[in-house]
Structure 1
Amino acid sequence: MQTARLLVGVLLLIAGIQPACSADKPLSFGVFPHLTARQTVETYSPLADALEKHLRRRVAIYTARDFKTFVERTRQGEYDILLTAPHLAWLARQDAGYRPLLKYAQPVRGLLVVKADSPFYAPDALRGRTIATPDPIAVVVLALHAELAANELSRNIDYQTTDSGTHLNAVMQVINGRADAAMLGLPSYRLMPPELRQQLRVLAETPPLSSLMYLTHPRLRDAEAQAVRKTLLSFATTPEGQAFMQRGGFGGFADVDGNELQAFRPYALQVQEMLRAPQ
């Protein structure tokens, strides 16, 4: 099943196709685009398989080509089950009524990395340099800009950024010598092949941030939402779920409360302003 899901899923992810409406329409599982399409399907297929088995309903994995598109699809309520960053979870609740279910227990950090043999050993050394970033509305990017500002480095004044689209692409800009440093999230860093991580050195990191959150659209009734929650918790206890958690460094599942989401309101409002700005 996983091979078939991978081949079909990657095509759907790239095309951005939603399944046709029908009585047996699959549950759409939207995963925010911090990984490539192939990585997304490979990583989340075991979880989708568990949901299919326990809910007795097909589950289709979707993402988007960029964060802006993903946020817009979320706002339109295209995903039944949503996995997204905490500041985007705040927007999902405000804009489309999504209800938080669970989050990954292990906090994440934003990492500022350079090549292993780089001459830079402190953030201040990047003054006048170029930093590759994944999508600029990623919470780890916003947090890292705040960290650099605390070191008296202002974006577009003391350093320039280049938007690479994904965490992996940002890292490759550094490895290939096209950027002096890169911003990325710790989960994406852990999922990279060891041969890539060996070529990098962490220069700075943010304080802990709440991890990715699972939410359900209000069109799923309470019983359906609770069935999804129960399935996720059950999956985490299986050998497949434990391998999934270990590979991603997710640390299992934990509850989400409203106060936690509220703490990300400032980042969410930044995202709103960025999305409204003319391109």
Structure 2
Amino acid sequence: MARGLFVVLMLGWSSLGLAAYTLGIVPFLSPRSLIIEFAPWRAHLESRLATSVAIATATDPVHFLARCGRGDFDVVLVPPHIALYLQRQLGYRPLLGMRSEFFSQILINRDATATQLSDLKGRHLHLPDQLSLVNYEATQFLSRFGLQAGRDFTTQSHTTENNALLAAISKPGAAAVASRMAFEHLPENLREQLRIIGSGRSSLWLVVMVPHHLKDSDVARLEEAISQIPHTQAGAAYFSHAGVALEPLGKSELAHFEPLLSIIEKAYWTRYSSR
């Protein structure tokens, strides 16, 4: 796949002739998994807004930021540290937040002898992209147990959480970091090949945001439609299965992730400015 190539997933043109909305989702899962995961969102929004809705993503989080900068999306779902970056640098407005129970999980190949976090010492840990929230949360979680990458274990980053999990499955003795949702998305025969040896705290997982160029009337329509998703039959099933809740954001909640802004900025200019 070419470095500049982005992934766009178009589904269900329900109202020919009306302007479509594009829902951009940061690539924390594979494109196919994103289609499945957010199908209830798309279906509800198309019905409520009486127009077509496209689900779009990108090849990696940095490329996704570039697409946000180009104004490719009408509404986005991004982790809170990227939400803060979009708010500060590009004028995006946060609308709602999604919270996940036991957000980050540390998993080990079922054939490994490890039973607790201290058993990670000397092992190889597979992580999702360095800009992913689960990478940051899991690293912080492990540090509270006195475990540090490079000193206690080696690491390898992957483009998605799926790939990190699959790498641990294919290599006996290896471990992986992923969100609860990504792990539960695996087919049962793959989940059975991993064991959970640690779970992080509940966390603000994704933030619903809109770009500054969107009209206030469109913002109001989108916010109302999205806030109703948990109260539909399909939406209630989705939120229950995913172990998440859709809630208003506190005024200073995103500021908690300010230490990550410099990391995002460095990654953006290092990994995208040459494209």
TM-score range, shorter chain: 0.7 to 0.9
Alignment partner of 1:68 is 2:62: yes
Residues 190, 247 of structure 1: 8 Å contact kept: no
- 225, 247, 251: which one aligns with 1:254: 247
- 98, 121, 130: which one aligns with 1:127: 121
> For structure 1, which runs of at least 5 residues remain unmatched after alignment?
1-13
1:1-279 alignment, distance < 5 Å: 15-16=6-7, 24-177=18-171, 180-251=174-245, 253-277=246-270
Q: C-alpha separation between the residues in 2 aligned to 1:271 and 1:129? A: 28
Distance 1:96 1:24, change over 3 A: farther
Q: C-alpha separation between the residues in 1 aligned to 2:203 and 2:177? A: 15
- Aligned CA RMSD, in angstroms, stands at 2.3
Residues 107, 210 of structure 1: 8 Å contact kept: no
The residue type paired with residue 152 of structure 1 is: G
Q: C-alpha separation between the residues in 2 aligned to 1:91 and 1:202? A: 32
What secondary structure does 2:244 align onto?
coil
Percentage identity across paired residues of the two chains = 24
Q: C-alpha separation between the residues in 2 aligned to 1:157 and 1:229? A: 46
Residue 15 (structure 1) shift: 4.7
What secondary structure does 2:181 align onto?
helix
The residue type paired with residue 261 of structure 1 is: L
The residue type paired with residue 117 of structure 1 is: D
Which residue is equivalent to 2:13? none
Per-residue Cα deviation, 1:110-137 (whole angstroms, up to 9, x for no partner): 1111023321122232222211111111
**Structure 2 length-normalised TM:** 0.86
Residues 113, 181 of structure 1: 8 Å contact kept: yes
What secondary structure does 2:163 align onto?
helix
Q: C-alpha separation between the residues in 1 aligned to 2:194 and 2:185? A: 14
Residues 84, 254 of structure 2: 8 Å contact kept: yes
Distance 1:131 1:235, change over 3 A: same
Residues 111, 172 of structure 2: 8 Å contact kept: no
**Structure 1 length-normalised TM:** 0.85
> For structure 2, which runs of at least 5 residues remain unmatched after alignment?
11-16
Residues 62, 271 of structure 2: 8 Å contact kept: no
Distance 1:150 1:120, change over 3 A: same
Distance 1:146 1:38, change over 3 A: same
